[in-house]
């Protein structure tokens, strides 16, 4: 039990009189007559410092990374009471700041993607992308594809993939082609893969969201569930996320770079949806 120290300061209001020089000197030397206001001020300052220390510290720095699993994730924080739309002052409560991710960004004027597939070499899978100028690009993981493509590239991957592999998406066999198509459909046509986005039908108890990461180069954010299942969504689209998912995203905090305007849009929209407000309020 915390001890309570109350200050019992009585301030009588006598008639105004001018004290003599002797009375003033005696009052000045009287023990206990000074220090009360100083102690009270010190106590107020201590309480303020304690309140300040309770604020969650979520801003972190980290070196460049190349895999999702290497991105530093802040510990879950207790969300503040949400009674109104978010402001720039409390936006950092929902963010984890990191250094820009290492990537080989493709030029915004890059030739159009006309084909992609997945190859296997020495037991390892590779994503291969072909552009209409005849050039090829290879990536060892889907995460590296996301970090290296533009927003236009992502849409071209979706259109080409549906044209080439739509029957695979409808099949029952699990393979990387199907998983990649499901990632792309989550962004552009989530209804097509609602059986994978299980919380869309609210038919199961939503599990913990471990990561929420923004990829500004292509305008995509990713969430990781139970450290094994990934979902990808476009920043410029609004999705019907469940209440459990929205709260899980906010508790995980968004991994982004410092002073990112795109990150503020994503966080503000997520908070608005969680409050039942217009998602675009304030954006």
State residue 282's pLDDT score.
83
According to DSSP, the residues that pair with 267 across neighbouring strands are: none
Does the pLDDT of residue 10 top 50, yes or no?
Answer: no
Segment 84-134, tens digit of pLDDT = 556 666 778 899 989 876 555 554 568 999 999 999 989 899 999 999 999
Asked which of 47-61, 164-178, 223-237, 253-267 is least confident by mean pLDDT, the reply is 47-61
* Of 94, 176, 87, 169, residue with least CA distance to 128: 176
Contact status, residue 118 vs residue 142, Cβ threshold 8 Å = no
State residue 173's pLDDT score.
82
- Under DSSP, the state recorded for 33 is S
pLDDT averaged over the chain? Answer: 75
State residue 74's pLDDT score.
40
Contacting residues for 254 by C-beta, under 8 A, at least 6 apart: 94, 95, 96, 212, 213, 214, 221, 263, 266, 267
Q: Which residue has the higher pLDDT, 128 or 6?
A: 128
Cα–Cα distance between 20 and 249 in angstroms, integer? Answer: 70
State residue 71's pLDDT score.
43
Does the pLDDT of residue 152 top 90, yes or no?
Answer: yes
State residue 9's pLDDT score.
38
Asked which of 36-40, 77-81, 192-196, 237-241 is least confident by mean pLDDT, the reply is 36-40
Q: Look up residue 239 and give its two tokens.
A: 């999705």
Segment 174-223, tens digit of pLDDT = 899 999 999 999 999 998 886 665 544 444 455 789 999 999 999 999 99
Helix extents (H) in 30-111: 36-53
Contacting residues for 180 by C-beta, under 8 A, at least 6 apart: 118, 127, 142, 161
Segment 35-66, tens digit of pLDDT = 444 444 544 444 444 444 444 443 333 333 34
Please report which helix (H) or strand (E) contains residue 117, including its range.
Answer: strand 113-121
Q: Report, as an integer, the average pLDDT of 12-18.
A: 45
Please report which helix (H) or strand (E) contains residue 267, including its range.
Answer: helix 261-275
Contact status, residue 113 vs residue 162, Cβ threshold 8 Å = no
Does the pLDDT of residue 7 top 70, yes or no?
Answer: no
Neighbours of 116 (CB within 10 A): 22
Contacting residues for 209 by C-beta, under 8 A, at least 6 apart: 223, 224, 225, 245, 248, 249, 251, 252
């Amino acid at each position: 039990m915390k001890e309570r120290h109350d200050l019992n300061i009585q301030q009588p209001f006598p008639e105004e009189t001018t004290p003599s020089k002797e009375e003033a000197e005696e009052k000045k030397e009287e023990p206990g007559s000074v220090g009360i206001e100083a102690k009270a001020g010190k106590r107020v300052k201590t309480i303020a410092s304690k309140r300040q220390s309770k604020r969650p510290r979520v801003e972190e720095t980290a070196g460049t990374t190349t895999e999702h699993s290497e991105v530093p994730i802040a510990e879950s924080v207790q969300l503040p009471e949400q009674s109104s739309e978010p402001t720039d002052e409390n936006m950092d409560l929902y963010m984890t700041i990191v250094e820009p991710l290492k990537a080989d960004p493709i030029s915004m004027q890059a030739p159009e993607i006309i084909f992609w597939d997945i190859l296997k070499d020495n037991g390892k899978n590779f994503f291969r992308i072909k552009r209409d100028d005849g050039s090829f690009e290879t990536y060892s993981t889907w995460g590296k594809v996301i970090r290296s493509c533009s927003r236009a590239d992502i849409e071209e991957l979706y259109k080409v993939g549906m044209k080439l592999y739509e029957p695979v998406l409808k099949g029952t066999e699990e393979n990387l082609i199907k998983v990649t198509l499901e990632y792309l459909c989550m962004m552009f046509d989530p209804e097509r893969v609602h059986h994978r986005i299980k919380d869309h039908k609210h038919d199961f108890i939503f599990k913990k969201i471990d990561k929420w990461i923004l990829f500004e180069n292509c305008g995509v954010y990713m969430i990781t569930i139970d450290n094994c299942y990934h979902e990808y969504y476009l920043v410029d689209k609004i999705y019907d996320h469940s209440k459990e998912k929205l709260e899980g995203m906010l508790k995980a905090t968004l991994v982004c770079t410092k002073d990112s305007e795109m990150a503020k849009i994503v966080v503000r929209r997520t908070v608005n949806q969680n409050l039942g407000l217009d998602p675009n309020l304030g954006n």
